């Protein structure tokens, strides 16, 4: 199971890196063409924008896994150990409900936008809006994979198996 999890995380990270690399290449090529030939790629800005949207949603699960999202720990820090665990259970349940709701909303957006086309690339907006349910589904998977250590000890998993305390991840 740990091997499958490491493969999942590595694949997720590789997809984010590929999107960032593609975005940088497209924007770089467009800038180079603009200054060397006085012409630019009409679809470059649009492609970079949609890659950034996809990269944000696909990468959000990785940020969650490593405690990279903003955290306010004032209440958590003043509670007893048992109360902290209860608070973390409540937080996980709220997050799971919210993520599932956002998958549902994302699917609705996809359905509504499927007949609209992007201006330059003429892609269906379905593909742009698909980032939302895909990203929130990945958030659910990542949350479920780290839920045990998070609830027990307030820790996030690291790729190498290292673990950072919630306060260390939030403060440093």
Using CB atoms within 10 Å of the CB of residue 74, give its burial: 0 to 12 exposed, 13 to 18 middle, 19+ buried: exposed
Angle of the 2-37 helix axis to the 131-153 helix axis, nearest 10: 140
Please, are residues 159 and 68 in contact by the beta-carbon 8 Å criterion? no
In the prediction, which pLDDT does 163 show?
A: 41
Phi, psi of 60 (to 5 degrees): -60, -35
Question: What is the structure's pLDDT at 73?
Answer: 84
Cβ count near 145 (within 10 Å): 20
Q: What residues in the chain have per-residue pLDDT under 70? A: 155-172
- The residue behind tokens 């924008």 is 49
- Rounded distance between C-alpha atoms, residue 162 and residue 146, angstroms: 12
The torsion of the CA quartet 141, 143, 148, 154, rounded to 10 degrees, works out to 160
Distance CA 32, CA 21 (A): 16
pLDDT of residue 164: 42
Please write the tens of the pLDDT for every residue from 146-158: 999 888 887 665 5
**Contact status, residue 93 vs residue 171, Cβ threshold 8 Å:** no
| Cα 64 to Cα 42, 44, 120, distances in angstroms | 35, 30, 34
Query: Tokens representing 70?
Result: 């903003």
Question: According to the model, what pLDDT value does residue 74 have?
Answer: 86
């Amino acid at each position: 199971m740990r091997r499958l999890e490491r493969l999942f995380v590595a694949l997720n990270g590789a997809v984010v890196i590929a999107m960032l690399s593609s975005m940088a290449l497209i924007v770089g090529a467009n800038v180079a063409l603009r200054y060397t030939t006085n012409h630019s790629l009409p679809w470059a800005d649009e492609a970079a924008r949609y890659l950034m949207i996809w990269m944000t949603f696909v990468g959000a699960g990785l940020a969650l896994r490593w405690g990279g999202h903003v955290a306010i720990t004032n209440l958590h820090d003043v509670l007893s150990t048992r109360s902290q665990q209860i608070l973390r259970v409540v937080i996980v349940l709220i997050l799971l409900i919210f993520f599932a709701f956002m998958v549902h909303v994302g699917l609705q957006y996809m359905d509504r936008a499927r007949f609209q086309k992007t201006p330059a690339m003429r892609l269906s907006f379905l593909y742009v809006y698909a980032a939302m349910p895909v990203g929130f589904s990945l958030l659910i998977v990542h949350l479920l994979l780290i839920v045990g250590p998070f609830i027990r000890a307030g820790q996030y998993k690291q790729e190498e198996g290292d673990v950072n305390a919630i306060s260390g991840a939030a403060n440093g």
